[in-house]
Amino acid sequence: MPFTHSQLKTIRKKTPFFVFNKQQLLDNLKKYQECMPKQTEICYAMKSNSEKMVLNTLNKAGASFEVASKYELAMLKDIKVPAAHIIYGTAIKPEGHIKEFTKYGVDRFAFDSDEELLKIAKWAPKSKVYVRAHVNDKARSVFNMSEKFGTSLNNAVVLLIKAKELGLVPYGISFNVGSQARNVEAWGRGVADLAEAMNKLLKHHIKIQIINLGGGFPHTYSKKDIFPTIEPICKHICKATKTLPYEVTYIAEPGRGLVADTFVLVTSVIGKNKRSNGNWVYLDAGVYNALLESITCQGTTRYDIEALSLKKPSDTHEYFILTGPTGDNIDVINQMVLLPNTIQTGDSLLFHDVGAYTFTLITPFNGFPKPKIIECEI
């Protein structure tokens, strides 16, 4: 459940600060576990939020992790995540990173090319490999994930056959519909698309063990821009599993879908100015030190924002342009935020659902530091 204003007002800390809702994260994980096909391994995509309190919570709850570098691996080693709960999910990897994963005991690797197969065979012999393939491209995603990685389904079959010849285990096939996918059927279509490839592999005596559904599971930030929830998405996935030639287990890599609503941000007004293009409100947190995905010159994420405390409450509202504390013109969070017209320096604002792609994208531009994080019981 979300924090109430009264709970947040009891936090006597200097702004800006994030507040972590541990129970919300556990509730989200449980929902994914219940909705996904049976025997689905939830591998949290830690690129979305790698804060230690998040990783610890998920690890203790039995989740696995999708990791993209030896640096992320080091975070998991620090909290003693078992190697069996880790997959190396990026399709192109430095050789030195492969060695680090193998040394720790990780034996599941993604790939999408001949060259990558040869690297894995050299530095992680006999390991399990899954090929990243392109599937139906009608996901209507905000962020496309098929340009940099992936191969055709026909080539995926060829690559898995080669993996077997190299002494590797042809473990499975993965796909990624893109981040913030709008099409509720996208993942189900992705699963159904793999049936033909699975049949072709059977002719070569290869029976894959898993299908990796990837990530992209969306989150709705604003009532003006509604995205599908996990329940109908999983209904289509479960329906599609019945079209496959044989049973497999599944991996899902939620990131944003797990953590987006597990954090809020409290920030204060440090200045206000009426300009020719509108009324500007300057905050002590901006796109660089807190909210990079919201950058208006290229971003699409629009957080739900409301006044948390006001020196002069008002029932009259008007639109404001919200900007951060740096000296950069592109440090603009939102150009049309409806707030009480009495808002002034010293008042505080509350940003909802800021748990994804905030901490991992923070930069200390102009020297402004990352806001502190507080864990609050509800």
Domain count, the chain: 2
> In terms of domains, do 177 and 326 share one?
no
Which of 198, 226, 254 is where one domain is finished?
Answer: 254
> In terms of domains, do 246 and 351 share one?
no
Range of the domain at 360: 5-17+261-375
Nearest of 20, 93, 70 to residue 359 by alpha carbon: 20
> In terms of domains, do 117 and 194 share one?
yes
Phi, psi of 34, deg, nearest 5: -80, -35
- Contacts (Cβ under 8 Å, ≥6 apart) of 378: 1, 3, 4, 7, 21, 23
> In terms of domains, do 13 and 65 share one?
no
> In terms of domains, do 200 and 294 share one?
no
The answer to whether residue 296 sits within a structural domain is yes
CATH number, domain at 326? Answer: 2.40.37.10
pTM for the model: 0.93
Which of 237, 254, 271 is where one domain is finished?
Answer: 254
Nearest of 355, 239, 208 to residue 293 by alpha carbon: 355
The answer to whether residue 194 sits within a structural domain is yes
> In terms of domains, do 208 and 288 share one?
no
> In terms of domains, do 175 and 136 share one?
yes
> In terms of domains, do 61 and 181 share one?
yes
Residues 224, 2: Cα–Cα separation, whole Å = 20
> In terms of domains, do 217 and 81 share one?
yes
Q: In this structure, what DSSP letter does residue 151 have?
A: B
CATH number, domain at 131? Answer: 3.20.20.10
The one-digit pLDDT tens for each residue of the chain (378 residues) are: 677 888 888 888 899 999 999 999 999 999 999 999 999 999 999 999 999 999 999 999 999 999 999 999 999 999 999 999 999 999 999 999 999 999 999 999 999 999 999 999 999 999 999 999 998 655 444 444 455 567 999 999 999 999 999 999 999 999 999 878 888 999 999 999 999 999 999 999 999 999 999 999 999 998 888 899 999 999 999 999 999 999 999 999 999 999 999 999 999 999 999 999 999 999 999 999 999 999 877 667 899 999 999 999 999 999 999 999 999 999 999 999 999 999 999 999 999 999 999 999 999 999 999 999 999 765
> In terms of domains, do 171 and 219 share one?
yes
